[in-house]
Chain A
Amino acid sequence: MDTKLKKRIGKIVSWLLTFLLMLVICIPGLWVVLTGFRPNREVLAKPAIWIPEELTLNNFAQIFGFGAEQIAIPVPAYFTNSLIIALTSTAIALLVGMSGGYAFARFRFKYKDTLFLGLMLSRTVPGIALSLPVFMIWSRIGLIDTKPGLIIVYVALNVPFTIWLIDGFFRQIPKEMSEAAQVDGCTRWQAFWKIEFPLAKSGIASAGIFAFLTSWNEYALASQLTRSTDSKTLPVGLMDFTAQFTIDWAGMSAMAVIIIIPALILTFIVQKHLISGLTFGGVKG
């Protein structure tokens, strides 16, 4: 009887804690999303208006340039820049990462551990510290404020982690499968594309999503290497709002929503693979 009661109390306590935890995780984001749909005067109202009296798409219309009021921040340009830069750098990072990850998973060679450690260490360099020399060099060779300039940097940023993840996914596939295919007359290249690649495909896709998000979210390097609408990305553009005399909270929140949405959708798709990729590569690697 006593232990039963104890168990029940324990269960209630753990549910309460979980509920509290979810509140802490969800409320900040939800509040920003909600603010994106509210008119600015309601956001600024004192005393605070808790239950929205009016929901509007005005903020979104404004930052995308239609609607009665115009704002000076070219969000559509930033959005296209972000998309082009993130997609291109992800595609290149995946190609480079696949070939590198395959090398680590399937070959034994000299300096393998040193090389792997070197790749990982290159990722530890803080973005802002790396931005200084890259800024100096890029401005000499004319890559400052161009999309290719940022794409190259993001590929380098993503390659180590992509290799780590893809290495783990290739290792999960038994070596014997491609060896059997080679005995049956496939070349190694054919065996890769017909056997190993299809099996590792979902893992590679999740590595790609991870790389995309890194590029999509990056700020420290982008804030120094971009100047104008030619190459500014959304996170850098978000800071445009703070440069104005008064902060347009509603507009800024609307822009935040635009940055969040792809991240949320992609996280939902990738979550399972990411966990297995991280733990596999780390523990058994």
Chain B
Amino acid sequence: MSRINKSIPFWRREQFTPFLLLMPAILILLLVVLLPLLFSLYTSFTGYRLIRPDSLYNWVGFRNYERIFTNANFWYAFGRTVLFLTIALNLEFLFGLGIALLINKITWGQRTLRTIMMFPMMFSPILVGYQFKFIFNDNIGILNNALQALGLSDGAIPWLVDKQLAMFSIIFAEVWMSTSIFAILLLAGLFAMPRDPLEAAKVDGCNPWQVFRHITLPFLMPFAFIAMTIRSLDVARAYDIVDVMTGGGPAGRTELLWTLIARVGYDNSRMGQANAMAYVSILLSIAFTYYFFRKLIAARRYMGGAD
């Protein structure tokens, strides 16, 4: 056996095949993601500014991190981002669950409804942002026009200028765009659900709420966590929406971590500091994804145990 193995080169051997097949994927991710990230890790310890290329070799230790961790604006943006994600993800889950249950009940035209439901998911975030920038526009937006025509308000409500309303508008756009991922996956979960436990529970005298709470919901949770995992992979899409709708304004009131990174890095050309912030945002994303991925695995195990 070992003699045969020696006669053929190692890349022709059977156990090497999967690595050979994965080589292109690994190479491209190494080149475009891992190496740049190592480079940006290095940069985050320098005082690199775009306008002065030689500052790339200006090692400053942890000063960038110290500076951002003592910067109130950074913490506001960080807190706002976490708040934004918490509100948006919870609303998306709740609405998605409601929509899935609703559409599951309807028998006529269900396929069409499902297809329509998928459209927001395929919209470019930049388009969603533009669309709501247009709708929420205080002067010519359809929302204010409608409110005025119905006599519900006489002035122009500054949806994107007032600080609270601007945050609301952005969350609205985000929820509009991403609820369908939850709805679709939860609907798929409802379709896959076995009928027997439901019948058994009804025979045993459970009321609809108990059936939902103890049978339907636990069965749906893995699907919800798939949706959460997929969502947490690209939470930073919100950057596009905010960039179009408010650009982080008014006066930084809708500044999220991601828009702050762009401002510090490109507009102020402080690459070192921006990279330090970028690392915080990467860790945040990984933390979100990891959390939901663990939940997904736990929920799957629970379901396997129930079977």
Contacts and interface: CB of A to CB of B under 8 A. Distances in A.
Interface of A: 14-15, 17-18, 21-22, 24-26, 28-29, 31-32, 35, 43-44, 46-48, 50, 95-97, 99-100, 102-104, 107, 109, 112, 115, 119-130, 132-134, 136-137, 152-153, 155-156, 159-160, 163, 213, 216-220, 223-224, 235, 238-239, 242, 249, 252-253, 256, 259-260, 263-264, 266-268, 271, 274-276, 278-279, 282-283
A115 B26 CA distance: 9
Contact of B33 (A115, A130, A264): A130
Nearest to A159: B25
A275 B188 contact: yes
Given A126-B285, A133-B43, A136-B271, 10 more contacts: A14-B105, A15-B106, A18-B103, A26-B116, A28-B176, A32-B130, A103-B22, A115-B22, A130-B37, A282-B296
A219 B125 contact: yes
B141 to A, nearest CB: 9
B239 A43 contact: no
The 7 closest A-B pairs by CB, nearest first: A126-B236, A217-B124, A156-B32, A129-B278, A133-B36, A133-B40, A103-B21
Contacts of B36: 130, 133-134, 137
20 contacts: A14-B102, A22-B116, A25-B116, A28-B176, A31-B131, A32-B134, A46-B139, A96-B25, A103-B18, A103-B21, A107-B17, A128-B262, A130-B37, A132-B43, A133-B275, A156-B33, A217-B122, A219-B124, A256-B131, A275-B184
B88 interface: no
Given A102-B21, A103-B18, A152 B278 contact: no
B152 interface: no
B122 A266 contact: yes
B34 A122 contact: yes
B218 to A, nearest CB: 14
A259 B258 contact: no
A32 B226 contact: no
Nearest to A220: B239
A65 to B, nearest CB: 22
Contacts of B117: 25
Interface stretch (B2-10, B59-67, B69-77, B142-150): B142-150
Chain A residues touching B, majority SS: helix
Contacts of B230: 278
Contact of B185 (A159, A266, A279): A279
Contacts of A156: 28-29, 31-33
Nearest to B189: A279
Contacts of A21: 99, 102
B200 interface: no
Nearest to A109: B18
Interface string B231-260: 011111101100110000000000000100
Contacts of A126: 235-236, 239, 258, 278, 281-282, 285
A134 to B, nearest CB: 5
Contacts of B31: 152, 156
Contact of B24 (A96, A128, A253): A96
B274 A18 contact: no
Given A120-B233, A132-B40, A125 B119 contact: no
A100 B275 contact: no
A220 B122 contact: no
Contacts of B103: 18
B122 A267 contact: yes
Contact of B39 (A133, A163, A217, A218): A133
Contacts of A242: 244
Interface string B110-146: 0001111111111111110011101100011010010
Contacts of A99: 21-22, 24-25
Nearest to A17: B102
Given A126-B282, A127-B239, A132 B265 contact: yes
Contacts of B135: 28, 31
B292 to A, nearest CB: 11
B192 interface: yes
A252 B121 CA distance: 21
B57 interface: no
A136 B185 contact: no
B285 A279 contact: no
Most buried by B among A109, A132, A268, A275: A132
Given A47-B149, A132-B278, A121 B25 contact: no
B119 to A, nearest CB: 6
B207 interface: no
A159 B25 CA distance: 7
Contact of B123 (A47, A127, A152, A260): A260
Interface string B259-298: 0011001100001001100110110011011000100100
B185 A278 contact: yes
B222 interface: yes
Given A220-B240, A268-B115, A100 B21 contact: yes
B188 A279 contact: yes
Given A132-B265, A156-B32, A127 B271 contact: no
A132 B275 contact: yes
